[in-house]
Structure 1
Amino acid sequence: MNYTYRIYPNVVQQTELRSWLETCRGVYNYALRELKDWIASRKCSVDRCSLEKEYIIPADEPFPSYHRQQNNLPKAKKQFPHLGKVHSQVLQTTIRRLHDTWEAFQKRGHGFPRFKKFGQFKSFVFPQFKNNPINGFTIKLPKIGEVPINLHRPIPDGFKVKQVRVLSRVRGTQWYVVVTIESDISVPDVPVHGRAIGIDLGLQRFLTASDGSFQKRPQFFKSMQRKLKLLQRRAARKQKGSQNWEKAQIEVARMHHRIANRRKDFHLKTAHQLCDRAPTIFAEDLNVKGLTRGMLRTDCVDAAFGQFLSLTEWVCWKRGVYFAKVNPNGTSQTCPNCLATASKGLEVREHHCPECGYRTHRDRAAAEMVLHRGQENVVSQGLWGTETACQVGLSGVYDLDKWRGAGIPNRETGKPAL
């Protein structure tokens, strides 16, 4: 698990942390340059060379792997003494970060690693600690010293600190640490139990549940857009690179940081409210990247559906609530009462089935359809068998029987009642 805390380094420590980030950025770019040169030297034609330039790397030169570049760090420290000021394991994890990106690129086929510009490298990692670095209200970082920390929640008993990642936010004016803790205990998977609800995400209503409750969508970016535009206009009038320009850029970064914090706080509170409402939750498996490329991309990015689903899954796991995603295709075009197709455009906000006459709000009908698909998935996987005999009296079981067509006279699955 990861716990994020705010730290307050002094002026000397902040200067040292910024210097470390720039040193790590240089190591990252140098290692990436070696990687790209080796790849480019293997792309030339066999029978001729380019008229402009050609990479002269021997054919027997091995690939610059993680272990080779890591082993070259001691030699680089002799040539560049400023590398010795940074903790050795921090430089090793920087090389590891590059090769993790390279391996991810090879798997998905896109997203080649890019060079980091000034200010784009915002974190580094201390991969291991012999003792607990947190002592009271300070955290001891190697070669940095003790830094005050806002320990708003203590480390749970039985857990030990595995690694610490130092984060720079708001153009290096706010600092955080992400503490990774671990324990030898094994956490079993959460079984399907109790009352189940389905949720539908949208722009008019941020969240609509199958039980009829809904949550309005706060417009975090649009509500602060006027003030943000004013700050950006002030920053644009300053001479680029001056101290006043840097101060104006910090104000803009703080505003963006505040918007992101308000959005995340809303997502976490909404996720906890869902867990209080039902012990089994089904949601749509949305194509988040596709939503950010349409005509409503600004509103979709402001709503941050992907972040909400990730946080909801984490909160459900932490609180022992079963969470699963279902196929989102056609949830708003299918009647949840008789499973007949009921096509309608985006401007139609009411669901009216022409087959059975079922009327409800469009988003609630989609949420009920999500619940139906989630229950069908758990039935097909045999997960409902993990319940005890008390399941007979639990809320939501009747709905499961309804969808399966059991115990309801004069009705067949997928057809309206006569």
Structure 2
Amino acid sequence: MILAYQYRLRLTKKQVIEMERWLEMLRFQYNYLLADRFRWYEENRCSINACPLVCHLPELRNNPDYFSQKRTLPQLKKDRPWYADIHAHVLQDCVKRVDLAFKRYLKGDSKGKKSGRPRFKGKGRYRSLTFPSIGKDPIKGNLLKLPKFGWVKMIYHRPIPEGFKIKTATITKKAEGYYVTLSIQDDTIPEIIPVNEVSNPIGIDMGLKSFLIKSDGSEVDIPQYYRKAQKRLKKIQKAVSRSKKGSSNRRKAVTKLGKAHKKVADTRKDFHFKTAKDLLDSHDLVAHEKLNIKGLARTRMAKSVLDAGWGQFLSILATKAENAGLLTIGVNSRNTSQNCSNCGKKVPKKLKDRTHFCPHCGYVADRDINAAKNVLNLAVGHPVRSKACRATEPLGGVGKKPALSR
């Protein structure tokens, strides 16, 4: 099991200057290695079945890859002695980032999806560095030892669990300071509970009116952190736009804007963690829809969809469930709002229709609750009828139409 714990660093002024110097040197090296890749690619590529009549052949050399570029680092330290201040593993990680970015551009990732052309890093755009190994017992109290950098103070707000070993450390520069992300590993793997042994499953339907609605009828309100902060963000953005480029006022305004956006992101992430914890504390299986979030982000609902942060929430939920030995199952969302969760027959309805009424069996329920029940039924493979679910059914039971109110 691999986890990531993040802590805020309290660097001294001298350490901040040194860290910024490291990041700038790594940025220069990243751009140089990336340019070397592009140079070889432009000089050596040509059509398979065509060749120009007049061509000027460049100096023949092998295609630069991760290993060949890594072998240039000793010569780099001889030509530019100040690069010897940076730990060798950090420089090697910079080479690895170039290799990964270029491979995704040409070949794509494991699923074959290609990324865009890698861009050169402008000033201040190289914001993180990684120590692939940081030695044995690097933490003493609230101090962390970084190889070749020294001891740094951090806010050690939660201790590393027993049995976990620290594998890597990534220093990241954010709007209000520096953070360290420790990757910790434990070889023990918790046993995942089988589907047929779950005792208290739940289905959830994600939405924009409510963040999620459970199959037992309860719901979680949507916080809309970005929309609530939009007025303040707009005011700060105006100050950035009106200030002169390169001025101190613009730099201060950009920092203030970054802090405001980070606050929105942090509060949203905290809400996701707490919601996931509440779900997993009460249920051993959580069924949810497989959402095409990228597709929804291209519609008129883009701002609301991205403000809800469904993708981040489902990722947190899956990780927390796996660490606890619980289950999360994603199901195809096709017709989960249309089908009746009681009899399975399709009941077409428009988006404005918020109540599900089945003419076949007479089952009446809120549209989203019906969808959440369908999601749960698809996840476990059979209809699930708990006490909480039966409490949401109309008076008189399933199959009888509710009495009309005057």
TM-score (ref. length: structure 1) = 0.85
Deviations 1:327-377 (A, max 9, x none): 11221121111111122222222222232222111111111110011011x
In the alignment, is the contact (CA less than 8 A) between 1:221 and 1:259 conserved in 2? yes
Give, in whole Å, the separation in 2 of the partners of 1:26 and 1:50.
36
Q: What secondary structure, in the 3-state scheme, does the structure 2 residue paired with 1:324 have?
A: strand
In the alignment, is the contact (CA less than 8 A) between 2:134 and 2:145 conserved in 1? no
Q: What secondary structure, in the 3-state scheme, does the structure 2 residue paired with 1:241 have?
A: coil
Give, in whole Å, the separation in 2 of the partners of 1:285 and 1:261.
24
**Identity level (%):** 36
Consecutive unaligned residues of structure 1, counting only runs of 5 or more, are: 380-395, 400-415
1:118 aligns with 2:162: no
Match of 1:79 in 2: 79
Deviations 1:197-237 (A, max 9, x none): 11110111110010101011111011011111111112222
In the alignment, is the contact (CA less than 8 A) between 1:41 and 1:57 conserved in 2? no
Match of 1:282 in 2: 287
Match of 1:132 in 2: 137
RMSD between superposed Cα atoms in Å: 2.2
For residue 22 of structure 2, the aligned residue among 20, 44, 47 is 20
1:303-322 correspondence runs (5 A) = 303-322=308-327
Q: What secondary structure, in the 3-state scheme, does the structure 2 residue paired with 1:128 have?
A: coil
Match of 1:222 in 2: 227
How far is 1:295 from its partner? Answer: 1.1
Give, in whole Å, the separation in 2 of the partners of 1:277 and 1:12.
49
Match of 1:255 in 2: 260
Match of 2:389 in 1: none
How far is 1:268 from its partner? Answer: 0.5
How far is 1:55 from its partner? Answer: 7.7
Give, in whole Å, the separation in 2 of the partners of 1:39 and 1:189.
47
Letter of the structure 2 residue corresponding to residue 302 of structure 1 = D
Q: What secondary structure, in the 3-state scheme, does the structure 1 residue paired with 2:44 have?
A: coil
Give, in whole Å, the separation in 2 of the partners of 1:133 and 1:97.
25
1:186-197 correspondence runs (5 A) = 186-192=189-195, 193-197=198-202
Bigger drift between 96-105 and 285-294 goes to 96-105
Q: Residues 346, 63 of structure 1: CA spacing in aligned structure 2 closer, same or farther, 3 A cutoff?
A: same
Give, in whole Å, the separation in 1 of the partners of 2:160 and 2:99.
31
1:141 aligns with 2:141: no
Letter of the structure 1 residue corresponding to residue 52 of structure 2 = R
In the alignment, is the contact (CA less than 8 A) between 1:195 and 1:397 conserved in 2? no
Match of 2:37 in 1: 35
Bigger drift between 143-152 and 98-107 goes to 98-107
How far is 1:50 from its partner? Answer: 8.4
1:18-417 correspondence runs (5 A) = 18-44=20-46, 46-48=50-52, 56-58=58-60, 61-105=61-105, 106=107, 107=109, 108-112=112-116, 113-170=118-175, 173-192=176-195, 193-376=198-381
How far is 1:320 from its partner? Answer: 2.8
In the alignment, is the contact (CA less than 8 A) between 1:324 and 1:374 conserved in 2? yes
Give, in whole Å, the separation in 2 of the partners of 1:49 and 1:16.
53
Deviations 1:289-332 (A, max 9, x none): 11111111011111111000001111212233211111112211
Deviations 1:55-104 (A, max 9, x none): 8242xx22211111101111122223332222111010111122233444
In the alignment, is the contact (CA less than 8 A) between 1:203 and 1:303 conserved in 2? yes
Deviations 1:237-289 (A, max 9, x none): 22221112111111111000000000000000100111122111111111121
TM-score (ref. length: structure 2) = 0.88
Bigger drift between 223-232 and 329-338 goes to 329-338
Deviations 1:173-195 (A, max 9, x none): 41110111123323333433211
Q: What secondary structure, in the 3-state scheme, does the structure 2 residue paired with 1:289 have?
A: helix
Bigger drift between 248-257 and 112-121 goes to 112-121
Give, in whole Å, the separation in 2 of the partners of 1:212 and 1:50.
74
In the alignment, is the contact (CA less than 8 A) between 1:340 and 1:355 conserved in 2? yes
Q: Residues 55, 208 of structure 1: CA spacing in aligned structure 2 closer, same or farther, 3 A cutoff?
A: farther
Give, in whole Å, the separation in 2 of the partners of 1:265 and 1:36.
41
In the alignment, is the contact (CA less than 8 A) between 1:206 and 1:215 conserved in 2? yes
Bigger drift between 196-205 and 20-29 goes to 20-29
In the alignment, is the contact (CA less than 8 A) between 1:334 and 1:342 conserved in 2? yes
Consecutive unaligned residues of structure 2, counting only runs of 5 or more, are: 387-398, 401-406
Letter of the structure 1 residue corresponding to residue 291 of structure 2 = L
In the alignment, is the contact (CA less than 8 A) between 1:336 and 1:365 conserved in 2? yes
Q: Residues 150, 40 of structure 1: CA spacing in aligned structure 2 closer, same or farther, 3 A cutoff?
A: same
Q: Residues 90, 346 of structure 1: CA spacing in aligned structure 2 closer, same or farther, 3 A cutoff?
A: same
Give, in whole Å, the separation in 2 of the partners of 1:44 and 1:280.
54
Bigger drift between 34-43 and 149-158 goes to 34-43
Q: What secondary structure, in the 3-state scheme, does the structure 1 residue paired with 2:166 have?
A: strand
Q: What secondary structure, in the 3-state scheme, does the structure 2 residue paired with 1:308 have?
A: helix
Q: What secondary structure, in the 3-state scheme, does the structure 2 residue paired with 1:256 have?
A: helix
In the alignment, is the contact (CA less than 8 A) between 1:126 and 1:164 conserved in 2? yes
In the alignment, is the contact (CA less than 8 A) between 1:7 and 1:147 conserved in 2? yes
In the alignment, is the contact (CA less than 8 A) between 2:376 and 2:384 conserved in 1? no
Q: Residues 109, 307 of structure 1: CA spacing in aligned structure 2 closer, same or farther, 3 A cutoff?
A: closer
How many residues align? The count is 378
